[in-house]
Amino acid sequence: MILRRPEESWCLYVLAHGAGAGMRHPFMEKLSGALAAEGVATLRYEFPYMEQGKRRIDRPPVLHESIREAVAVGARERLPLFAGGKSMGGRMTSQAQSLAPLAGVLGLSFVGFPLHPAGKPGVERAEHLANVRVPMLFLQGTRDDLADLALLRSVIDGLASATLHVVDDADHSFHVRKGSGRTDEEVLAELARTFARWAQRTIGDSSSLASRSAGSR
């Protein structure tokens, strides 16, 4: 695991990797750095298959257990806690949360939610999200071939507490073309800034709810 905790950290994001690239992939490194610039600590970790150098992805129960273990480690930092990750890592985190709440996690953030395989639009991969009871943030590119935006919006519209942030011209790797007028680094900064603002709101809402609950006793 890799913990990156800036001096002025105000929350921690347990950040899972995608299917084909581990926690040390340049995207994961750069995203962690961009989040650190916003005061967000990150805990990166690897699923067993990635640690063992295998191509075959672990079965969901194994992935879910790895996520719970990472969240438990992250909770030791005693910061407001969030979880999620890139592509498959984010989707598996949401599955774990839908089966049984991840202890202490205030919200989930998905960096490119893989709604469906490329060229095969569908929403089956999102059916479990109805059982997620914490706020969710979807960070999605307009050129992501694993998430038709119209379908994703229809899914999000049916959820109790979900936010969609669309990144113009970004693909599934959040790469933007030269003609977009922006760089990939600027996109990463946008992702981190958006996460930070959403996390701050979520923490505030959670605190208000806790205060109201305490006052009603």
**Cα separation, 68 vs 82, whole angstroms:** 12
Helix (H) or strand (E) holding 77: none
User: Which is the CATH superfamily of the domain at 2-215?
Assistant: Alpha/Beta hydrolase fold, catalytic domain (3.40.50.1820)
Residue 26: CB atoms within 10 Å: 9
Q: In this predicted structure, what is the pLDDT of residue 55?
A: 85
Which among 73, 100, 95 is positioned nearest to 84, based on CA atoms? 95
User: Is residue 212 very low, low, confident or very high in pLDDT (cuts 50, 70, 90)?
Assistant: low
Residues near 182 by beta carbon (within 8 Å), at least 6 away in sequence: 169, 176
* Residue 150 · residue 117 · CB < 8 Å: no
Q: In this predicted structure, what is the pLDDT of residue 208?
A: 59
Q: In this predicted structure, what is the pLDDT of residue 207?
A: 62
Q: Which whole number is the average pLDDT over 154-167?
A: 94
- Backbone φ/ψ region at 112: left (φ over 0), alpha (ψ -120 to 50), beta: left
Cα dist from 86 to 6, 17, 111, 137, 160, whole Å: 21, 5, 5, 12, 22
Which among 118, 57, 117 is positioned nearest to 92, based on CA atoms? 57
Q: 11-16 and 40-45 as β-strands: parallel, antiparallel, unpaired?
A: parallel
Q: In this predicted structure, what is the pLDDT of residue 51?
A: 87
Task: Give pLDDT tens digits for 20-69.
Answer: 888 999 999 999 999 999 999 999 999 999 989 888 889 999 999 999 99
Report the percentage of the chain scoring pLDDT > 90.
85
Q: Which whole number is the average pLDDT over 110-116?
A: 95
**Cα separation, 195 vs 7, whole angstroms:** 19
**Domain range summary for the chain, segments of one domain joined by +:** 2-215
Task: Give pLDDT tens digits for 170-210.
Answer: 999 999 998 898 999 999 999 999 999 999 999 988 765 55
Q: In this predicted structure, what is the pLDDT of residue 162?
A: 96
Q: In this predicted structure, what is the pLDDT of residue 160?
A: 87
Residues near 140 by beta carbon (within 8 Å), at least 6 away in sequence: 112, 113, 147, 149, 152, 164, 165, 166, 167
Which among 39, 35, 41, 44 is positioned nearest to 15, based on CA atoms? 44
> Is 13 in a helix, a strand, or coil?
strand
User: Is residue 211 very low, low, confident or very high in pLDDT (cuts 50, 70, 90)?
Assistant: low
Q: Residue 217 pLDDT > 60, yes or no?
A: no
